[in-house]
Structure 1
Amino acid sequence: MAKLAVRLRAVEVVVGGALVCIAGRAAQLQLLEGRRWAEEARAQRTEHVALPARRGALTDRHGTPLALTQETYHVGVAVNELRDPAKDVPRIARRLRLATADVQRALRRRYAYFAGPYSVIDVQPLRAVRGVHLEPVLNRFYPAPDLARPVIGRVGDDGRGASGLERALDSLLAGRPGAAVVLKDRAGREYESPARVIAQPVAGADVALTLDAELQEIAQRALDDAIRRMDADGGDVVMMDPATGEVLAVASRRRDGSARPSVFTDTFEPGSVAKIFTAAALLALQRVAPAERVSGEDGKYRLGGRTITDEEPLPVLTLADAIRFSSNIALVKFAARLAPAEQYAMLRDFGFGAFTGIEFPAEATGRLRPPAEWSGLSAGSLAMGYEVSVTPLQLAVAYAALANDGVLLSPTLIRDVRGPGGDVAYRHRPEPVRRVVRPEVAAALRTLLRGVVEGGTGAEAALVNFPVAAKTGTARRVVGGRYAPGQYTASFAALFPADRPQLVLVVKIDDPRKGSYFAAQTAAPVTRSMLEQALAARTVALDRARLSTAAPRAVAQPLDDDPGVVPYVVSWPFRPDSSPALADVARRAVPDVTGRPLREAVRALHRRGFRVALKGWGVAHHTWPAVGDSAAAGATVTLFAAPRP
């Protein structure tokens, strides 16, 4: 018995010790380590997931969508959860637009994944199919994939802006992601139960750009056509509102059809298109009188060991003549009256050699060397538009200052920013940088530019009813740091209309090979074509009421009057008739031919005494000049046709 008692006592001690150890360990796990183990258990059963925020939209100034975010879906199918595979598989294949055999092959695995992405319409009927799991994904898409894409840019695989405005405005567009908790089983698979949302995602802001989609399309189409017809290396177009600094259209194209934002990033020597800025310094500092003349030197002038030439020699020239006929010799002679510091200061004040402040990333500054780095030939070179490099945007901004009575404005691509609730967080207001010249000097410079179109080198840009102020520029092209033999850059800068400009337009054509390389025959007609199309467009950023005051009132005549017939139809794009005999012919109203067959409409316009430029086919849709507007006998009326309803 004694031995039994000892054994029982030993067992009790062992059991008691074990219970104490168990209790101690339990206390340790529960009291000291309980929180850590609870968190690990929760981590195994739950997972924190990010809820993506809807990226803000990019639209043009009229609300036309340029970049949008839509909800799409990836589709997963758990094979063992399907209730009736024979019926479900064909249904899934049909909604995913896949062959039934392909879906059956994918379902040989326990879980099949179809990346898609698929739209809401595609997957809506699949929500009722047990075993089908939908994973929502926010995708960025561009309704007009080719419209202003180098400017708009793109979004990377991580959903962040990778280039263009998508990158520059990423902090506005991206929004703030939310967070949620989902439950998982022992194998780590998520339950179908809804996730518990911890923080709701906040959508990004919507940004309305200053771009005008219709003007943008006009610019791209005209530039593509010009590059093809002229066999050019590429080109650029900029359109701006000079009163606000808003950029209305930006187009850049290369010969191979590619597009990059060279309007902002690539520089060139502007040549004669920059002569107006030398004239600005001369007029602002009163170094030349309106009637003062200099010799044209029969087209050849020796200066500092080099020969300066003019394409069209003139015996004597005023400053107005020098701008109108783009005389290198006269401008160099007039520019000699400026001190280097004065010439440099004027170019610098117009914004050359500095950032414009546009919101686009990686903007180039161009190059304008200070006078201390000039050679003895630099002053003359700058007067002719050499030894300075600019971007097309800088050139447009400088011309906008001339249109804006001498005030330089910061350019912008952002019109307004609206929060997720639609409240306006930002609205652009014109931002003056500095006054470059006095209003009266700016007006005098616009008059000089108007003379370029009215009988000068820019005559190919003339419009029938509206005055245009502009300047041509043809410069040798720099390739690899040297002037390339036989290669030129043709550029043209225009203010429309000349008296109260609403539009600044800069066109640059790189190395046109077919036909003439002079801007007067290349960039100027492209400008005219774009202005004609902009005037004929229905919704563009032009003030029609202000434009209507530029055209004189017509004397109404009955449609059956027969003041003279012009028995042919001219092709598009048309050229205004500059015959002096037409100057004294009475103006008459453009008749209403809307809805008529083309033959009948053309005859009616001929009876009124107009030439006709026909665009399109079908029936008459509208004309430019518009119905009731005035035009001289013999002027060209563009008749736009539309397919028969």
Structure 2
Amino acid sequence: MIISITFLFCALIARLFVLQVVDGEDLRAKAAEQWYRDLPLKAPRGKIYDRNKQPLAVNADVYSVYVRPSAVNNPQAVASDLAKLLDLSYEKLYARITGERVSEITVKKSVGKETGEKIRRLRHQGVYLTIDSKRVYPTGGLSQVLGFTNIDNVGQNGLEGYYDKYLTGVDGFEYVATDIRGNELDGALMYVPSIEGCSLTLTIDKGIQALAESAVIDAMTEWKSRSASMIVMDCKSGGILAMAIAPSFDLNDIPRDDIAVLNALSKNTLVVDVYEPGSTFKTFTGAIAVDSGIGENRNYYCPGYRIVDGQRIKCWRYIGHGSVDLSGGFKNSCNCVFMDLALSLGTERLYNGLSDFGFGQKTNIDFYGESKGLVMKKESVKTVDLARIGFGQAIAVTPIQMVTAFSAVVNGGVLYEPRLVNSIDSFDGKNVYSAPSKKVRQVISAETSKKMREYLALVVAEGSGKKAQVENFFVGGKTGTAQKYENGSIARGKYVSSFIGAAPIDDPEYVALMIVDEPQGYVYYGSITAAPYVGRVFAGIAASKGIKANTPVYTSEMPYLRELALSEAIAQLNKMGINYEICGEGTMVKETVPIYGSPLIDGDVVLLRLG
């Protein structure tokens, strides 16, 4: 009996030794796991503001829901309640809770506050919540510029991605005691606060952005185009005031379920994509020629085409413009004038000038994926190529290159580096980084710039840009219409229409480029599909400055003239006091530009195509 008791006593001592010494560390760790918890404190992401400190990207509190399987005493109830509230599969969640040998399961992140409070009130043992933040975009717009974050609040693209290292804060944590249900007891044993990320103040103006977004949506709707886009720049600093692209999406309702669609809608085509600029490019050929001392003191003859290297290159006006000077070349957008200028300059001078304007190179805007455009190698350029480049063919540019270069044409000749961010500031308001305007180079003289403003003002006052005019905030600019290419050949019926302009043209502050990609129907000219929207945006800017400004008043409508005899159509136009031009051969009107019902203003010239 004594021996048995002694044996049992020794066994007990041995067991205690094992528990305290051998397994002690293990048991202490398990006890700590049961009674203590290390709670992460996610740092709020830095905010994004427009140039006037209007919020563009902020944070809202949300919950993350976790389960500690070892602390759950009723896995069926936990799985059932969470599945219902969080719209999850009961079977999958139950299997995770009962089958996974982990200390903690992340059930769901970005759970709304109301749902989170419902879960908290259930007081399930082993279920706990932490407060996180979710990105919220007050305007919902600027989708391709701001970009967005993923479920973990990490920037994915746009400025959210480009400046992610600044916007991301420093996480903290707190070490807390819990009861048997996993609920926190009062007071943290250790607390390290999180630090909010830096904020960005952009060059974007929220008001101008709204004007641009409205313009591209309306243009795409009216012309049933593939897309429409606009950039507005402060031409005296390079700051981007607006970037708008349609189609788009609401940043608060991101279409994450279709990656292909999301990638397409997220792309900032104004920085990434290239296009053939067409007649808007004549601005730069003209500026280089004037600055080189050629082109102004001569007349040009346009018979409607030029023969270059044996190739017949047409002017847009088939019957030609006859004898014109350089101002007439701009006003009438005569291809022959700008072919002659390019050929007079020669490859070396034209290419040097285009390089100074920034074509064929990146602008270094603070954004992902910028393209440098497509410019033929100088040694590969033939005479016919040079002629085509002169009026905006045989070259591809990015929209950001266009507004940057055009700004230099009108602002006194200075090329500025474009930028989207003005400053970066820490959470407590200390400046981390400021981005002053960066002068790249003097491209043309101030005198040449003044002369170019006069030519561009003439285009809007009397030429193809009339529909961009704004009363008391006068505009200068250039229209463009370019055929698109597919697989190396012209794509019939597909055009890129555009207008680029500056206002007020006597001392420009703003440059705006509007692009309408593949407008549908007979009307595809930039003078009709793009110019009015730039005028509308400039009028909105003027109004915000207290300037009484109006876009052109339409005085009549285009009559229905298709299938009429030419003599009958002319008689009707004369009666209405509408100017006209005729192209083609025949006695019947096959189509008109603009189409029937289009608004007309005094001085408009309509085109009658015969067949």
Contact 1:463-1:576 at 8 Å conserved across structures: no
Counterpart AA for 2:52 = H
1:277 paired with 2:284, answer: yes
2:584 corresponding residue in structure 1: none
Shift of 1:494: 0.1
2:598 corresponding residue in structure 1: none
Three-state SS of the structure 2 residue aligned to 1:477 is strand
Counterpart AA for 1:59 = Y
Aligned mates of 1:35, 1:406 — CA distance in 2: 75
Shift of 1:16: 13
1:382 paired with 2:389, answer: yes
Which residue of the other structure, out of 206, 210, 213, is the alignment partner of 1:217? 210
1:467 corresponding residue in structure 2: 474
1:138 corresponding residue in structure 2: 133
Contact 1:48-1:182 at 8 Å conserved across structures: yes
Contact 1:58-1:65 at 8 Å conserved across structures: yes
Three-state SS of the structure 2 residue aligned to 1:364 is coil
Aligned mates of 1:261, 1:21 — CA distance in 2: 72
Which residue of the other structure, out of 220, 223, 226, is the alignment partner of 1:230? 223
2:426 corresponding residue in structure 1: 419
Three-state SS of the structure 2 residue aligned to 1:211 is coil
Shift of 1:223: 1.3
1:294 corresponding residue in structure 2: 300
User: 1:261/1:429 Cα in 2 relative to 1: closer, same or farther (>3 Å)?
Assistant: same
User: 1:250/1:115 Cα in 2 relative to 1: closer, same or farther (>3 Å)?
Assistant: closer
Three-state SS of the structure 1 residue aligned to 2:156 is strand
2:407 corresponding residue in structure 1: 400
1:311 paired with 2:301, answer: no
1:148 paired with 2:142, answer: yes
Q: Deviations over 1:96-127 (max 9, x none)?
A: 999xxx9xxx9xx999x89773338x878998
Shift of 1:268: 0.2
Shift of 1:438: 1.5
Three-state SS of the structure 1 residue aligned to 2:307 is strand
2:576 corresponding residue in structure 1: none
Identity across the alignment (%): 27
Structure 1: stretches of 5+ with no match in the other structure: 1-6, 82-91, 552-571, 579-633, 636-645
2:162 corresponding residue in structure 1: 168
Counterpart AA for 2:553 = R
Shift of 1:271: 0.9
1:251 corresponding residue in structure 2: 244
Aligned mates of 2:523, 2:19 — CA distance in 1: 95
Contact 1:264-1:391 at 8 Å conserved across structures: yes
1:496 corresponding residue in structure 2: 503
Q: Deviations over 1:147-177 (max 9, x none)?
A: 1112111111122011211111111111111
- Quote the RMSD (CA, aligned, Å): 4.2
Q: Deviations over 1:540-584 (max 9, x none)?
A: xx6x6xx79xx9xxxxxxxxxxxxxxxxxxxx9753779xxxxxx
Structure 2: stretches of 5+ with no match in the other structure: 72-80, 99-104, 251-264, 557-600, 603-611
Q: Deviations over 1:383-435 (max 9, x none)?
A: 01112111111111111112321111111111222211122323331111111
Q: Deviations over 1:425-453 (max 9, x none)?
A: 23331111111111111111112111111
Contact 1:417-1:427 at 8 Å conserved across structures: yes
Counterpart AA for 1:287 = I
Counterpart AA for 2:41 = L
Shift of 1:144: 2.0
Counterpart AA for 1:293 = N
Shift of 1:467: 2.1
Shift of 1:75: 7.3
Aligned mates of 1:170, 1:429 — CA distance in 2: 21
Shift of 1:225: 1.2
Q: How does 1:597-616 map to 2 (within 5 A)?
A: none
Three-state SS of the structure 2 residue aligned to 1:217 is helix
Counterpart AA for 1:438 = S
1:448 paired with 2:441, answer: no
**Aligned residues between the structures:** 512
1:54 paired with 2:33, answer: no
User: 1:533/1:179 Cα in 2 relative to 1: closer, same or farther (>3 Å)?
Assistant: same
1:331 corresponding residue in structure 2: 338
Aligned mates of 1:40, 1:133 — CA distance in 2: 18
2:579 corresponding residue in structure 1: none
Shift of 1:264: 1.3
Shift of 1:57: 1.1
Three-state SS of the structure 2 residue aligned to 1:521 is helix
User: 1:167/1:324 Cα in 2 relative to 1: closer, same or farther (>3 Å)?
Assistant: same
User: 1:443/1:17 Cα in 2 relative to 1: closer, same or farther (>3 Å)?
Assistant: same
Shift of 1:337: 1.6
Aligned mates of 1:536, 1:207 — CA distance in 2: 28
Q: How does 1:345-356 map to 2 (within 5 A)?
A: 345-356=352-363
Aligned mates of 2:285, 2:278 — CA distance in 1: 12
Which residue of the other structure, out of 233, 256, 269, is the alignment partner of 1:262? 269
1:67 paired with 2:62, answer: no
Aligned mates of 1:157, 1:125 — CA distance in 2: 22
Three-state SS of the structure 2 residue aligned to 1:393 is helix
Q: How does 1:572-583 map to 2 (within 5 A)?
A: 574-575=552-553
Aligned mates of 1:450, 1:486 — CA distance in 2: 30
Aligned mates of 2:11, 2:31 — CA distance in 1: 27
Give 1 or 2 for the bigger CA radius of gyration: 1
User: 1:126/1:513 Cα in 2 relative to 1: closer, same or farther (>3 Å)?
Assistant: closer
Aligned mates of 2:66, 2:15 — CA distance in 1: 47
Three-state SS of the structure 2 residue aligned to 1:416 is strand
Shift of 1:241: 0.4
Q: Deviations over 1:15-56 (max 9, x none)?
A: 999999999x789949xx988986676566544342100011
Three-state SS of the structure 1 residue aligned to 2:345 is coil
Three-state SS of the structure 2 residue aligned to 1:346 is helix
Contact 1:234-1:255 at 8 Å conserved across structures: no
Contact 1:236-1:252 at 8 Å conserved across structures: yes
User: 1:37/1:372 Cα in 2 relative to 1: closer, same or farther (>3 Å)?
Assistant: farther
Contact 2:314-2:335 at 8 Å conserved across structures: yes
Contact 1:410-1:430 at 8 Å conserved across structures: yes
Aligned mates of 2:110, 2:413 — CA distance in 1: 55
Contact 1:366-1:391 at 8 Å conserved across structures: yes
Q: Answer with 355-364 or 502-511: which moved more.
A: 355-364
Shift of 1:514: 2.9
Aligned mates of 2:13, 2:109 — CA distance in 1: 57
Shift of 1:381: 1.3
User: 1:190/1:282 Cα in 2 relative to 1: closer, same or farther (>3 Å)?
Assistant: same
Aligned mates of 1:71, 1:255 — CA distance in 2: 26
Contact 1:489-1:509 at 8 Å conserved across structures: yes
1:630 corresponding residue in structure 2: none
User: 1:15/1:357 Cα in 2 relative to 1: closer, same or farther (>3 Å)?
Assistant: same
1:363 corresponding residue in structure 2: 370
- List structure 1 runs of 4+ shifted beyond 6 angstroms: 14-23, 25-28, 33-41, 75-78, 113-116, 122-132
1:598 corresponding residue in structure 2: none
Q: Deviations over 1:341-360 (max 9, x none)?
A: 21111111111111111122
Aligned mates of 1:164, 1:255 — CA distance in 2: 14
Which residue of the other structure, out of 428, 438, 442, is the alignment partner of 2:435? 428
